[in-house]
């Protein structure tokens, strides 16, 4: 097995990447990192005094392969709050090991980040959902059957992290407050993560509905697990870009996912700005 999670080698990979990022950030010491999902890359353009660090300059960071994902970390400020934005994530469906998907998260932890805002595109399962719209992630179901903590414990990680409040209840309350103040519709629900890259079948969606999922996607869970193993609190938003398979006559396409994501990106940016000002 290879990868950033492998014992001491893992620590070296995290430390090496963190060293490069820290040097580029200079005096900027973000405590908040934001991961941008499909169609949501525009949020990175809102960062002021931006320091752009392409993934090819960061040891251990592969080139992102998913369309609609850039490949850079952007340090700077949003609402005068220092932030580190991850524009482009590593998906398991690209063939990346879970440790690679979680590498940026561990790097953030090494840099002193204590709050992780994760975003993604998702299919809507709850029947009242009318995409494109935003969902506040209340909880998740890991159906990737992979976990970035498997293997020797990477220094700094907890072996058996508690997952009873994976998406911090205080941060969620704050997000609901912002949504209300900004008049942004925001439903709260459970995100189910599957490996992908094929979209789900109608039978799979019926199963997901029965086990309590409100939205389905192919990301986020490895990062949130890695974050919880470091005590980082998480806040998650899904841009529900389409009705899940079988719930409408429409066929699913990644291009539509990207387009629908762009339609709610402005709302997402306002939500994130509102949360940052209230932290
Ligand atoms: N399924 C899985 N992932 C997705 C979907 C979907 O319907 N829409 C956007 N990402």
Does residue 227 have its Cβ closer than 6 Å to ligand 1? no
Range of the domain at 12: 4-278
Residue of the CA atom closest to atom 7 of ligand 1: 123
Does residue 121 have its Cβ closer than 6 Å to ligand 1? yes
| Residue in 33, 218, 227, 265 annotated catalytic | 218
Does residue 252 have its Cβ closer than 6 Å to ligand 1? yes
Active site (annotated) includes residue 218: yes
How many angstroms separate the alpha carbon of residue 129 from the centre of ligand 1?
14
Instruction: Give the number of domains in the chain.
Output: 1
pLDDT at 68: 63
Supply 4's token pair: 């950033």
pLDDT at 247: 86
Print the SS3 string covering the chain. Answer: CCCCCCHHHHHHHHHHHHHHHHHHHCCCCCCEEEEECCCCHHHHHHCEEEEEEEHHHCCCCCCCCCCCCCCEEEEEEECCEEEEEEECCCCHHHCCCHHHHHHHHHHHHHCCCCEEEEEEEEEECCCCCCCCEEEEEEEEEEECCCCCCCCCCCCCCCCCCCCCCCECHHHHHHHHHHHHHHCCCEEEEEEEEECCCCCCCHHHHHHHHHCCCCEEECCCHHHHHHHHHCCCEEEEEEEEEEECCCCCCCCCCHHHHHHHHHHHHHHHHHHHHHHHHHC
| Residue in 242, 244, 260, 265 annotated catalytic | 242
Supply 91's token pair: 């998906």
For residue 267, whether the previous peptide bond is cis, meaning omega lies within 30 degrees of 0, is no
Residue to mutate (ligand 1; options 191, 206, 213, 244; most atoms within 8 A of CB): 244
The domain that holds 189 is classified in CATH as: 3.40.50.1580
CA Rg, the chain, in Å?
17
pLDDT at 88: 92
| Residue in 13, 38, 238, 245 annotated catalytic | 38
Does the predicted model carry a pTM greater than 0.85? yes
Active site (annotated) includes residue 94: yes
> Which residue stretches of the chain have pLDDT < 50?
1-8, 10
């Amino acid at each position: 097995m290879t990868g950033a999670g492998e014992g001491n080698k893992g620590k070296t990979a995290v430390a090496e990447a963190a060293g490069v990022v820290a040097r580029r950030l200079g005096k900027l010491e973000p405590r908040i990192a934001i991961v941008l999902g499909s169609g949501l890359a525009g949020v990175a353009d809102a960062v002021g005094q931006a320091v752009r660090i392409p993934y090819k300059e960061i040891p251990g960071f592969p080139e992102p392969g998913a369309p609609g994902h850039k490949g850079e970390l952007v340090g700077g400020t949003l609402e005068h709050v220092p932030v580190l934005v991850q524009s482009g994530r590593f998906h398991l469906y690209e063939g990346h090991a879970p440790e690679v998907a979680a590498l940026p998260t561990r790097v953030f932890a090494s840099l002193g980040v204590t709050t992780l805002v994760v975003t993604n595109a998702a299919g809507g399962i709850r029947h009242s959902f009318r995409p494109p719209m935003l969902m506040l992630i209340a909880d998740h179901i890991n159906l990737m059957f992979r976990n970035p903590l498997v293997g020797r414990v990477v220094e700094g990680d907890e072996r058996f992290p508690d997952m009873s409040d994976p998406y911090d209840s205080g941060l969620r309350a704050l997000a609901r407050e912002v949504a209300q103040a900004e008049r942004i519709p925001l439903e709260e629900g459970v995100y189910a993560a599957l490996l992908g890259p094929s979209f789900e079948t109608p039978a799979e969606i019926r199963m997901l509905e029965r086990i309590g999922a409100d939205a389905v996607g192919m990301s986020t869970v490895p990062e949130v697990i890695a974050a919880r193993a470091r005590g980082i609190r998480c806040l998650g938003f899904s841009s529900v870009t389409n009705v899940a398979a079988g719930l409408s006559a429409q066929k699913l396409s990644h291009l539509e996912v990207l387009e629908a994501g762009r339609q709610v990106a402005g709302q997402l940016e306002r939500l994130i700005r509102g949360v940052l000002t209230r932290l």
